[in-house]
Structure 1
């Protein structure tokens, strides 16, 4: 496809199980969404966001008047942090319950939208807590309607059934995946990405690269998840440098956002394995660690470990980053070094030692990876057996640069 021939101002509907309004100006579809809510007797909503995203992106300047015009009352929860916690979800849920909210609008990146999905479940299961939800003490089958207004190009959460939260006292960061938390509607508007900070532009895009690396190589990978993976990496390789150099370039933002969305659909179908399962313990132990940075640190070592089992697929999808691979097992070192060098060109040079982890920390990280609720399912999807030794090796290979 020749990207230059696409009208980025043409707002189209990207349909998975979510109707996602995609394109420059898509935020204006909030009026149609408010009408749809009123048609199902939703007249009160809780807005779940962080302190910055809903304002600095300009999203609220459009959303608030639309809600008022359509007589949809709202209450706001703005305390969501990066790596949201079960305590925050419980606080937001109480606020929503007391207000009588019948739907949830999440505004932000993965953290606010994941928190919004969690609140949507707990508004239906009023006697349950976020800890019970994320420790899988019950299996939800219903949630109030979710509207996801996305402000980053990385997570894909606006078009998938996944959510993540941290249980800080146990150093757990589990994931959930339920059909009831597909958003009813999502908005993917590149205009909302222009204020995304430089590092977050990098880290969220690397999140999408990891999504497809895993989705293309799980035990349940399909031609569909592999096709989306190939296009995701091609687009990110092409447009991420442009977005970093020119943050207000809407074409670059458009294609990074599109890559993120199709990556979300890819792993919604193909699932995930090592990189996410091993990153969650990192940001559970260090909640200030950006998820995408943690993934970037692990990515070369993970690809090195799984390449002998999936050389043809990985050689094909990584061709824009590491060209001329033949797709044979002996290239594991070459592709790992090539991915690491590409990350270095983006200014992502950190390894585990640089962010405060030591070799002595690895046994605890391995234990968390193997025992945190839900992460075992991800590990079971890996193309090679996720033994204690394998996980240890990946963490060790992520302590320092592979190239040195």
Structure 2
């Protein structure tokens, strides 16, 4: 395969709305980024991260001296958790305001980077709160410059305009999509992913699989989102087992990270529908539930229900996982069973009942899935997202299909 002949140490520029430095050693580009910020008159930044990512990956060992050398002062918020909350965003924002932060650096996976995006908005709208932002009580048109230093290969948030946070008291996990939160700069360095634990390696990769499954099948899908979807699934199918067996294999990490980035670009263009809209209530109710695991539990049932409407696309992009599909509506059960078998082969065998959900929870989950922002995603699905269909997807996800 030609992938093995690529120079993974050649740091290239993945250009879109965000200038992303991609490749082994890309973290060293933080010096160039810091110099560019300094030229814009930026002297103070807030770093938004969790308690682990900035240290264990070694990212801060490079970022901190680069900022100091250029003359940019920094303050750090480390309170972000998986499935971040509006309270955490407000805490980080308050810290940034007091410090006088003029830009925001997010270090981590989706949770810290999404939180950094939110803080960047609220540093411009100083009279607003994160709850008001996520309940769409105002529509932001500006944000402080955002620098995303990515440490996982799943979300694609470093190259897109999306962010997610939970409002715990309402068991509500809405999503934002605003042009002002495209990161100005991003760093995708596979070397920062070597320390990802096996479960995170799996769950983040499954997140990318779900991004493209949805982006390729919304009512606004395009040849571009479908092309990126096909390549994403091919790369993840090929390199995820290698990364699980050999966590420090930089070639495997490189292509999983590339798959994640192009998946982010795919859904930035094609948008999302069922799996993400239906997963958000799961991890809003149970914040300890990894987002990627929630998606994995729902994916077979979602594909089963949408396949008759878009069989040609799904048969094509899922060829590496379920080969030999003809792209005809009657194959819905076959592809769903094939996807579930593939997930099980990776050790992802959990279903909703294993996480404590029961049939009695379905009406509440349906209501939460049809709240604002999530119902917008559902409106893009290739089949009509009635409450009956949503309930059936949840029901089919309680136990294994086979």
Fold conserved (TM > 0.5)?
yes
Counterpart in the other structure of 2:220:
220
Matches for 1:307-386 after TM superposition, within 5 Å: 307-371=307-371, 373-386=372-385
CA–CA distance in structure 2, aligned partners of residues 340 and 36 of structure 1: 47
Q: What aligned pairs does 1:109-120 form with structure 2 within 5 A after superposition?
A: 109-120=109-120
Q: Which residue of 2 aligns with 1:278?
A: 278
* Offset of residue 4 of structure 1: 1.2
| Structure 1 SS opposite 2:370 | helix
Provide the rounded CA distance (Å) in 2 between the counterparts of 1:236 and 1:378.
25
Q: Distance in 2 between matches of 1:245 and 1:81?
A: 27
For the residues of structure 1 that align with 2:362 and 2:302, how far apart are their CA atoms? 15
TM-score, normalised relative to structure 2? 1.00
Q: CA shift at 1:5, angstroms?
A: 1.7
Separation in structure 2 between the aligned mates of residue 122 and residue 293 of structure 1, nearest angstrom: 30
Q: Distance in 1 between matches of 2:327 and 2:337?
A: 15
For each residue in 1:340-379, what CA deviation from the matched residue of structure 2 results, as whole angstroms up to 9, or x when unmatched? 00000000000000010000000000000012x2001100
State the Cα distance separating 1:201 from its structure 2 match: 0.1
Deviation at 1:394, TM superposition (A): 0.2
- Aligned mates of 1:360, 1:152 — CA distance in 2: 35
Deviations 1:282-305 (A, max 9, x none): 000000000000000000000000
CA shift for structure 1 position 149: 0.1
Q: Which runs of 5+ in 1 are unaligned?
A: none
**Residues in 2 aligned to 1:347 and 1:111: alpha-carbon distance in whole angstroms:** 24
Tell me which residue corresponds to 2:20. Answer: 20
The Cα RMSD (Å) is: 0.5
SS where residue 46 of structure 1 aligns? strand
Q: Secondary structure at the match of 1:393?
A: helix
SS of residue paired to 1:281: helix
- Aligned-partner Cα distance in 2 for 1:60–1:74: 12
SS in 1 for 2:20: strand
| Aligned match of 2:204 | 204
Asked if 1:140 corresponds to 2:140, the answer is yes
After TM superposition, give the deviation of residue 159 of structure 1 in Å.
Answer: 0.1
Which residue of the partner structure matches residue 249 of structure 2?
249
Counterpart in the other structure of 2:47: 47
Aligned match of 1:164: 164
Q: Deviations over 1:237-271 (max 9, x none)?
A: 00000000000000000000000000000000000
Q: Which residue pairs with 2:4 in the alignment? A: 4
Name the structure 1 match of 2:393. 394
Q: CA deviation at 1:2?
A: 1.3
For 2:9, what is the secondary structure of its paired residue?
coil
What is aligned with 2:183?
183
